[in-house]
Amino acid sequence: MDELLKKILNAAGVSGYESQIARIMHSEFKRACGNAESDAFGNVIARAGKGKKRIMLAAHMDEVGFLIKHINKDGFLNFIKIGGIDDRVLIGQRLLVKAKSGDIMGIIGVKPPHLLKEEEKKAVVKYSEMFIDIGAGSLEAAQKMVAVADVAIFEPNAGVLEGRLCYGKAVDDRVGCYCLIKIMERLKKVNAEVFAVATAQEEVGLKGARTSSFKIAPDFAIAIDTTSAGDYPGIKETESSLKLGKGASITVIEAGGRGLIVNEKTKELFVRVAEKHKIKYQMDVLEGGMTDGAIINMNREGIPTGVLSVPARYVHSPTAVFSMDDVEAVISLAVKSVEELAR
């Protein structure tokens, strides 16, 4: 796995607490484009190319995670979730609490099945019944290690699963951030002013995309994100027909129309460019979930917006799986589409 991709996947950046990943994106944008700035909201922005048209590329740098809400008398931590995390994936997971004193390892615990009554065994355990064990043993010991309002992330992990399949924490949407850097490296001489934005707080309301797109006021925008693959047990093809390694995902509609509905010209542009340059692609019809594209599209008087995504398995969990072939397809399709728009 590319060391840059690994660094981006492993970085901390829960929504609203993106400082670590923001520093990395600022440094990489400056290297790739020769410039970078951070705005008042926490977005990181870079520019490349010169021309009359203004084109915005956005990928969110925040990840789902946790915030410490309470420390009990025995030193165990209660927490809330930041972003959409399925309670079923939490039990026994290792976390890093990002404390002032440094990273503190924690394990999500819950009452064991051996002590459950029969009716309790049938119920889905809610996160509010779970806790984080940091091995403190007392309130006083825990308070020396962590504090209320500290954030926690899933334990960092990244690597190669098999062949071109890779895995990692925060794949949604650090893979998009990686794509953004690689896209800007290839667009230095494009005949348009291209803005790359690593957006903040996407997972909790698409917030950074709203503020940054208002500031930039682009003529066209592309959101780079991940989407749910359907090529593993438990998912019907009618729910998702996307497969790893089969190309970039071109979004047609999000959340059954409550999110972005991509206009026909934008959809046709992506398909035409993909076929012209022999870039593999898949069509994505989403009944649930939205991207930064949904809020960019509605900003100002309306901004034509498309979404290109990397299909991934197990998003919003401790570890997701994706294909580098799809990553390269998204990068190539975005670059060629921007060049087409610039002409």
Distance CA 306, CA 284 (A): 12
Distance CA 146, CA 134 (A): 9
Distance CA 291, CA 314 (A): 17
Q: Is 28 a catalytic residue?
A: no
Q: What's the residue count for the chain? A: 343
Tokens 């954030």 identify what position? Answer: 151
Whole-angstrom CA distances from 134 to 17, 60, 63, 125, 146 are: 21, 30, 22, 21, 9
The three-state (H, E, C) secondary structure of 90-136, written as one string: CCCCEEEEEECCEEEEEEEECCCHHHCCHHHHCCCCCHHHCEEECCC
Tokens of 255: 């959340």
Of the residues 28, 193, 202, 328, which is catalytic? 202
Give the active site residues. 202
